[in-house]
Structure 1
Amino acid sequence: MKDVNEIIQRMSREEKIALCEGKDFWTTKAFPQYGIPTIFMSDGPHGLRKQEDAADMLGLNRSLPATCFPTAVTTGASWDTELLDEIGKAIAQEAKAQGVGLVLGPGANLKRNPLCGRNFEYFSEDPYLTGKLAAAYIRGAESEGVATSLKHLAANSQERDRFTSDSVMDERTMRELYLSAFETAIKEGKPSTVMCAYPKLNGTHCSDNKALLTDILRAEWGFDGLVVTDWGAMNNRVEAFRAGCDLNMPGGSNYMIRETIDAVKRGDLPESAIDACAARVLRLVLRADENKSKQASCDYDAHKVVARKAALSGAVLLKNEDHLLPLAKTVRLAVIGTMAQEPRYQGAGSSHINPTRLTIPLDCFPGAVFAAGCDSRGDTSDALLEEARTVAAGAEVTIVFAGLPDRYESEGFDRENMQMPEGHNRMIEAIAEANPNTIVVLLTGSPVETPWADKVKAILYMGLMGQEGGAVISDLIYGAANPCGKLAESWPISYEDCPSSSYYGKTKDALYREGIYVGYRFYDKARTAVRFPFGFGLSYTTFAYSDLVVTGNTAEAVVINTGNRAGAEIAQLYIEAPQVGIHRPLRELKGFQKVFLQPGESRQIAFKLDERAFAVWQNGWKVPAGEYTVCVGSSSRDLPLRAVVHRGDETLEVPDWQADSWYEAPKGVPSVEEFERMLGRAYIPPKLIKGLFTMDHTVAEMKDFSLLMKIMYKAVEKTIAKGFGGKVDYENPEFRMMMASSAGSPLRSMQIFGGLKNGVVHAMLEIANGHLLKGIVRMFGK
C-alpha cells in the first residue's frame, strides 16, 4: 500500500476536506494527481443493491440482479454463525463481480419494540446473539477482500423522526444493550467501517459524538477503521471532524466546507483532526483498490444454494398440534392466500434487492387447489372468503399464507400496531372453521398478534425468506427438511404487553424508559405470559439435555436426539444473576450452539464463560459477588439444566432511586418520573417555536408555522405523487418513505441530498423564522 501519511502531507487543506466527502451518491472522490482512486459502495445487509443509473437510498430505483438472501429477521432465527459467514462471503463475491468495494451492512440495532419499521433488517432483541451473528457476517465478507459497514451506531431503534430524534437513555442501558452488540461485532468481526446513525444520542448527533466515535469506539474497543455517516446523517462537519466521523455521504453538496476551513483558520479545529479523518478514508480506498485486482469468480448458482439453506435454517415451527406436519405427498391439499402467489420475501427500503430469480410457494405445491382468500393489500370480502371456505372444506389439509404486506412495515416509518391485516385474520378464522387441519405460513418481518393461534393446527414462521424461500416451504411441509430455527425475539400475546407500548413512537424523541428490560429481559422478570418465548422453535424430532457440569470458565452439557428424525437443535445458555442488590434481569443469554444430530445420537457441547457473562455496567464492567445459576436448554423458558456457581468479588452501590421503583420489580409501564430519577436528570421535550428554527428542523415540522414551508411541503408532496400516478398515497410504503426522507428530513440533510446552495437553504430558514428581509439578503447576498 502507498504511504498514506506522505500523501496526506502533500494534499492541501481543501483537498483533505474534500476527500472526506463523497463524489456522488455511491462513490468517493478520486485525486489522480496523488494516485488516489475511488471506491463504489452499495447497500447489502441481505444482498447487493448496486445502482448504476438513478441512485436513491430507499430501494426505489432498479439495481443490478443479485442473490436475495433472507433478511436478518430470518437469518437471526438461524442462530448459525457459520451460515452468516457463508452469506457474508457470497455477498462479498457478488460485490467484487460488480465492482463494489464497500457493502453497507450488517445492521446490529436491537429490536427494542415490535413496531419498528426496520426490524426485519436487524437480528435480535438480544445483544449477545446480535453481536455474534453480525461478527460472523463481517468475517465472511471481509475475508473476501470486501469492506463492510456495521450499522447504525447507535440506538437507532425507531423510524419515526429518525433524522432528528434524540435517543434518551441512561449509561447502563446504553452499555449493556445498545452498545454491547456493536462491541462484540467490532472486536470479533473487525469491520472496515462503521456507519453512524441518524438520531442524536443523549442530545448529541451521532456524527458529532466524540464520546461515541472516539472515546468508546476507538479508544475502548480498538476500532481502527473508518466512520461513515448514514446517508444524510451529517450534522456539523466541524464537530464531526473533531469527533472522528470521517466520511460524509452522499457526496456532491460540498456541505460545510467553507465553515470547516474557517474553523481551522480561527484555531477552533486542529488540522490534525482533518488529517486523521482523511488518512482513514485514504486507507480504505487504497485497500479496496488493491482488492479490485483480486477478482474472484462469482457463482450465482452456488449462492442460490446458500440462500435456500439460509431460508431453511431460519424457518421457525411455532406450532404442530397432533403432529400434523410433515404431510404425506398424497394428502389432498388446498392452498389459500394471495401471498402464496405473491410472496413477501424481503423488506422495503434501502435493502430492497433485485433478485436473480424468485421461487413462488404456490408453484411448489403441484396439484393443490388454490383460492386467493384476500387481495394483495390484505383486504378480503364475503365472496373471497366463501370461495376459500369451499376450497378448504374439500381438502384434507389447508395451508393458509398470511402476514404483513409491504405497506405495513418498511424503512422510513413504524407500524401503527402489532396486528395483521383484518382480511388476513378473517381469512385464517374462516379457513380454520371450514377445515380442522389448517396450517398457517407466516411471512412477516416482525412479530404479529395471532388471536387465531389456538384454532389452527400448525404455524410455520418464515420471516422474510429471500428468493429461494418458496421451495423451502414445500420442503418443510412435506418433511424433505426438518425445521430448526428458533425465535430471536419474543412474541407478546398482545402489543399492550410490551413495556414500551404506551410511549414508543408517540413522540419525536425516543425515551428508553424501560431501561434494560427489553424483550425477554422484561417478560421473564415480570412473569408475563407470551405467545412464543425468545429462543423457541419446534422440530419434527425431539431433544433432551443432561449432564451439565461447570468447571472454571467452561460449561459442558449433553444433547441427545430422542426422536426418529435427523435434526438440528440450538442449545442455549443463560445466566441467572442474584436478584438482590443492584437490579438485574432474571436471566440473560450468554451462549448458544447449533448441533445436528441423527436419531439417537448424543453430543457433548461446551460453552465458554468469560467475566462479561456475569458483569453489569456501573462506571465500568463489574461482577457483583454472589451465586449465579448457569442454565442450559432449548429456549429462555425451557431450561432443564441448572448449576449454581459463585462469581465476583465486588459489592456494587445500589442507586438511591432503585428502592420500590419499576426497575426493581417491572410490571406495566415505567413512569416518566421514575425514568428521570434513573437518568439522573429531567427530560425536557423539544418545542417548535417560530424564530428558533434551525437547520435541524424539517419542512414537515415548520409547515404549520410558515407559509413558505407549507408551500414547500405541498410542492414536495405533489412532486413525489407524480411517480405514483399523481396520487398522494400515504398507504403506499414507497410514498411514505419518500415523504419521510424529504419533507421529513432536516434542512441540513436536504442540502446534502439536494445539492442546494448554502445561501438558499439558510435564506429559507430565515424566512421560516419570520425574518423575510434577512432571508432575501441571504438569498441574494454573498
Structure 2
Amino acid sequence: MTVNEILKSLTLKEKIRLLNGVGGWYTFDAAGKLPKIMMTDGPHGLRKQGAGQVDINDSIPSTCFPTASCVANSWDLDLIKEMAGEIADQALQEEVGIVLGCGMNIKRSPMCGRNFEYFSEDPLLAGSLATAYVDAMQKKNVGTSIKHFACNNQETRRQSSDSIVDERALREIYLRPFEIAVRNAQPSTIMASYNKINGKYTCQNKKIIKDILRDEWGFKGALISDWGAAVDFPTCIKAGLNLAMPDSGGYQPGQLEKAFKRGEITEEEINRACEKVIEVVLRFANNQKIKADYNKAHLTAKKIAENSAVLLKNDGALPLKPQKIIILGQMAEDMRIQGGGSSHINATPGPNVIECLKHKGFEIEYEPAYPADDKVESTSDQERKALAEKAVALAKKAAEENTPVLLFCGLTNRTEGEGFDRHDMALPAEQLKVINKIFTVKAKVIAVTFGGSPFALPFYDDLNAILHMALAGEACGEACAALLTGEVNPSGKLSESFPFSEKDLPSRATWGKEESAIEYRESIFTGYRYYDTFKVPVRFDFGFGLSYTSFEYSKLKVSASDFDAADANEALGNVGGKSGYGDTANATNKLTVTFTLKNTGKLAGSEVVQLYVKNPQCDYLRANKELRAFTKVFLQAGEEKEVTLELDAKAFILFDVESGKYIAPSGTYEIQIAASLSDVKLSEKITVKGMDYKANDKERLPSYFEAVDGEMFNHKDFASLYKEPLPDDSAPVPGTFTIYNSLAEGAAISKVCKKQLDKIVNGIIEDNKKMGRNENDPAVKIAVCGMTENPIESIILLTACKFKPKFARALVHLVNRRFLAACRELIFGR
C-alpha cells in the first residue's frame, strides 16, 4: 500500500496515536494496518535493549567502535563509512530499523560531559563525517537519526536551558554541520534536542524546524523528539514535529485529541505529521535479516582505533622495540574504551595493552598507581598511599636502569559522561597526585592518555612522548600496542583544539551555568576560530598530530588568481566527498588546488592534509581563517603524490543577516595548505569577486576585538549583536511557575517541591545502591538530572504517566501557592 492509502485507512484516533512511540523503542502499528519498526541508541555501536532489559548499561552484546570524538581524529571518511556499514549489519541482524546516531553537535566547550559522542569544534569536519556515516548506513537500508538538533552544547540543564545564539553563529557554526548532512545525505530522521533555542523549545521551534530545516534545506525525512523532549505536544506537531518518543502512556495522544476538539489543530496538520512517519516505517520495516560478522567488525574497530590515535609528543622515545618496560596506571589494565550514558555499548573488549605487549615479547613490570574509577571513594588514604609508593618505587627503578616508563592516565567515567559537565580541565585528583610524585625520580616517561575531551597537561615538559588514544573502542589494547611498537604509524590529528586550561575558553563566561538562559556571547568564535583570531596560545592546535615519518609539501598550484564567488548561496548543496567541501561536481565555478606531497622518512604513513582559507582583514566579526577542505593521503617511504582539492564559492562565505543568505565578501584571500592550523606549508593569495559586504554597525562591537575591562564578549555587546530583544528566561516566582518548568526551579521557591524532589532523588540513589552503583555512576547521574532538570511535563512523558499528571498539576499549584486549586486537582483531577 502507498502512504496515502495507509493514511486513508487510519481513523483519526489511530493517526493521533501514530505520532507517539510504543514502549521505549517502537512505532505504532495501528492494529496491523502498517508495520512497526524498532529504533535503538547507537552512535558508535548498537545499543539494543532486549525484553526485560531496562537498565541503561544492559543491552545485547555488540561491537564497540571508537567514539565520535576518537574517529573524528582520523579525518577519514572512508573509515567512518566502514564503521557505519558494520553497525548497519548488526542492526539488520537484530531487526532494528533506525539507529539513533550519529551525534554531531559542535563542541562549544571541551568541558561538555557528552563531547565524546560528538565529532568536532569545526562545522565542516563534523558535517562531512556525519554525511559519510549517514550515507553508508542508509545504503544498507538502515535508518539514521542525526542528533541533537540543535545547539545542545552542554549537559548542565540540557533539558530546559535556552541556547541564546546570534543569527550568524547559529547559521555558520551550530546549524551548519546539520545542513551539510541534510543537503548531501538526507538522513531518514533527525532527533530534535531538549533545549530551547532563542526562547523556544526545539520541538516547538517553527523557525528551526519548518522555515530552515524543511523549507530552506529541503529535509524530507521525519523529525523525532529526543526522549521526553516534546512538551506541549500539539504545539510541537503544529511546528513540524512528526514523532514523539517514548510512549507517554496515552498522555500526548490525549493532549492532541483535546486540541483537535478545541479546533487548535487540524486533521490536515495531523495528516502531514503522519505521512513522514509512515514513509519511514515503510522504508525500513521489511528489511531482510542477515548474519553479521562480528570478527570482521572487531578488525574494523581495531583499524579505526589505529588510524585515530594522535601522537602529541615524541622526542624519539617511540616507537618501542621489545624490551623490559615499566607500566604504571590502572588504565593500562582496565582501559577506558567508551563513555557513559545512553551510548554505552555492551561489548566484549579485546586484550588490554599489557597482555598485547607481553605477546609481542616485552618484559613488563606493572603497578596500578591509583585506584580504579569505580573504587575511588571506597579506597582508603592508606591504600592510596601504598599504591603510590609502589608506583614511585618502580619508576625510580626504571630511572636507575634507564628503562622506559609507560604512564597510563586520562579522564574517567566519574569525570565526564552524559548528563553532567566538567568544571575544570584537570585530570582526576587521584591520578595527578601520584603522577607528580612519579616525575620526581626523573625517569623516561611516555604517557598514553584517554578521554573524550581535551584535558590539561601541566606535566607536559616532563614527558618524552604522548600517545592520545581518546576513547578507542573494544580493540583499544591491540591498537595501542601496535602504535607503541611502530607496527602501525600514528596518523590521527586533533579534531578539536587542546587549550591549556578552562581559563582560556571563549565560552567561559556563560557556559555550563545553572541558570536557564545561556548566552553564546562568543558568537562565531568557537574553538580554533577564537584561539587563532585572538592569538590565544593553546597546548595543541586544531589539526595537530605527529608521525613516525616526515612529509614534504611542494609545488602548490591554484587554478586561478581571480575567482568569481557570486554564487555562494547557490553552491550550498555541493558538500561531501573525500575532501569535505571538495565535492563541487555541481558547482558552476570551481577553484582547483594542487600540490605535491612526499613521504621523506623511512616508514610508510598517512598525512591529513588541511586546506584553510585566510580571510581578508575587516572591521566586523570574522575568523582569521577557516578549514575549507581536507583529505588523508597514504604514502610509502619515499613515495610522492600530486594531491588535488577543489573549492567553490562556499570556501569564502559568511551568513548575511540582512539578506538571510550566505554571501562571499569580495577581497584578497589566502589559500593555505597545512599540516595543522598553525603549521602552514604552502600558501597563495587570490582575489575573490563576491559581494560588497556592508556589515551592520551591531557587528562593530568593542569587546569582540579586544578585552574591555578584562572581559571579552560581554553581555552588553552580545545584546547589541543579537539584534532582537533577548528572550526572557528569568527564574520563575510563585504565580508564574508552570508544568514546563523543572522540579529544581520549583524547589528553589517552594519547600513542598524541594521536599518532593529530595524524596525522588534519594529514591533513585537508594535503588541504584542496591544494584551496586554510587551516585557518581553516569547512569545514576542521568536519572537524577532527568528528574531534577526536565520540565515537569517531560517527567510525565518519560515515566509513561507513572508520575501522575494530576499530581504534577497539583504540585504546580502548590508552588504557585494556590492551595485550594491543588486540593481540587488531587481530589477531582481538575
Aligned ranges for residues 402-417 of structure 1 at < 5 Å?
Answer: 402-417=409-424
Q: How far apart are 1:685 and its partner, in Å?
A: 4.1
Q: Does 1:477 align with 2:475?
A: no
Q: Does 1:341 align with 2:379?
A: no
Residue pair 2:395, 2:443 contacting (<8 A) in 1 also: no
Q: Distance in 1 between matches of 2:40 and 2:242?
A: 18
Which residue of structure 1 aligns with residue 297 of structure 2? Answer: 303
Amino acid at match of 1:594: K
Q: How far apart are 1:64 and its partner, in Å?
A: 0.2
What whole-Å deviation, never above 9, does each CA across 1:71-117 have from its counterpart, x for those lacking one?
A: 01100101000001011000010011111111000011001101101
What whole-Å deviation, never above 9, does each CA across 1:208-266 have from its counterpart, x for those lacking one?
A: 11111111111111110000100011022111111110000001422333332233334
- Greater shift, 495-504 or 422-431, is seen at 422-431
Which residue of structure 1 aligns with residue 443 of structure 2? Answer: 436
Query: Equivalent of 2:75, from 79, 97, 101?
Result: 79
Which residue of structure 2 aligns with residue 642 of structure 1? Answer: 683
Amino acid at match of 2:800: G
What whole-Å deviation, never above 9, does each CA across 1:707-728 have from its counterpart, x for those lacking one?
A: 4322321221222122333699
What whole-Å deviation, never above 9, does each CA across 1:412-449 have from its counterpart, x for those lacking one?
A: 01112111012322333333332431000111110000
SS class of match (2:680): coil
SS class of match (1:462): strand
Q: Structure 2 vs 1, CA of residues 566 and 419 (structure 1 numbering), >3 Å: closer, same or farther?
A: same
Which residue of structure 1 aligns with residue 395 of structure 2? Answer: 392
TM-score after normalising by structure 2:
0.91
Residue pair 1:398, 1:435 contacting (<8 A) in 2 also: no
Which residue of structure 2 aligns with residue 365 of structure 1? Answer: 357
Q: Distance in 2 between matches of 1:181 and 1:415?
A: 25
Unaligned runs of 5+ in 2: 560-589
What whole-Å deviation, never above 9, does each CA across 1:312-344 have from its counterpart, x for those lacking one?
A: 1110000001x11001112x2000001111111
Which residue of structure 2 aligns with residue 763 of structure 1? Answer: 810
Q: Distance in 2 between matches of 1:393 and 1:471?
A: 28
Query: Equivalent of 1:621, from 642, 659, 662?
Result: 662
Which residue of structure 1 aligns with residue 543 of structure 2? Answer: 535
Amino acid at match of 1:5: N
TM-score after normalising by structure 1:
0.96
Q: Does 1:268 align with 2:240?
A: no
SS class of match (2:703): coil
- Greater shift, 576-585 or 619-628, is seen at 576-585
Percent identity of paired positions between Structure 1 and Structure 2? 37
What whole-Å deviation, never above 9, does each CA across 1:389-417 have from its counterpart, x for those lacking one?
A: 22123331000100012110010011121
Query: Equivalent of 2:346, from 316, 331, 354?
Result: 354
- Greater shift, 335-344 or 573-582, is seen at 573-582
Amino acid at match of 2:743: V
Which residue of structure 2 aligns with residue 680 of structure 1? Answer: 723
SS class of match (1:83): helix
Q: Distance in 1 between matches of 2:143 and 2:545?
A: 34
Aligned length: 774
Which residue of structure 2 aligns with residue 509 of structure 1? Answer: 517
Which residue of structure 2 aligns with residue 37 of structure 1? Answer: 35
Which residue of structure 1 aligns with residue 789 of structure 2? Answer: 744
What whole-Å deviation, never above 9, does each CA across 1:692-746 have from its counterpart, x for those lacking one?
A: 1111111222123334322321221222122333699543333222100123221
SS class of match (1:256): helix
Q: How far apart are 1:566 and its partner, in Å?
A: 0.2
Q: Does 1:327 align with 2:326?
A: no
Unaligned runs of 5+ in 1: none
Aligned ranges for residues 28-427 of structure 1 at < 5 Å?
Answer: 28-34=27-33, 36-54=34-52, 60-291=56-287, 294-321=288-315, 323-330=316-323, 332-366=324-358, 367-377=363-373, 381-395=384-398, 396-427=403-434
Q: Distance in 2 between matches of 1:494 and 1:31?
A: 54
Residue pair 2:407, 2:447 contacting (<8 A) in 1 also: yes
Amino acid at match of 1:421: P
Q: Distance in 1 between matches of 2:65 and 2:59?
A: 15
Which residue of structure 1 aligns with residue 571 of structure 2? Answer: none
Q: Please tell me the root mean square deviation across aligned C-alpha atoms, in Å.
A: 1.7
Residue pair 1:431, 1:438 contacting (<8 A) in 2 also: no
- Greater shift, 676-685 or 744-753, is seen at 676-685
Q: Structure 2 vs 1, CA of residues 398 and 532 (structure 1 numbering), >3 Å: closer, same or farther?
A: same
- Greater shift, 713-722 or 261-270, is seen at 261-270
Amino acid at match of 1:686: S
Residue pair 2:127, 2:181 contacting (<8 A) in 1 also: yes
Which residue of structure 2 aligns with residue 603 of structure 1? Answer: 641
Q: How far apart are 1:143 and its partner, in Å?
A: 1.1
Q: Structure 2 vs 1, CA of residues 284 and 516 (structure 1 numbering), >3 Å: closer, same or farther?
A: same
Q: How far apart are 1:665 and its partner, in Å?
A: 4.7
Amino acid at match of 2:817: G
Q: How far apart are 1:170 and its partner, in Å?
A: 0.6
Query: Equivalent of 1:654, from 689, 692, 695?
Result: 695
Q: Distance in 2 between matches of 1:728 and 1:308?
A: 31
Q: How far apart are 1:372 and its partner, in Å?
A: 1.1
Amino acid at match of 1:17: I
Which residue of structure 1 aligns with residue 650 of structure 2? Answer: 612
Q: How far apart are 1:581 and its partner, in Å?
A: 4.5
Q: Distance in 2 between matches of 1:114 and 1:669?
A: 19
Query: Equivalent of 1:488, from 492, 495, 498?
Result: 495
Q: Distance in 1 between matches of 2:773 and 2:280?
A: 42
What whole-Å deviation, never above 9, does each CA across 1:460-518 have from its counterpart, x for those lacking one?
A: 11111101011111111111111000000000112101111232112332210000001
Q: Distance in 1 between matches of 2:157 and 2:769?
A: 27
Amino acid at match of 1:609: L
Amino acid at match of 1:126: D
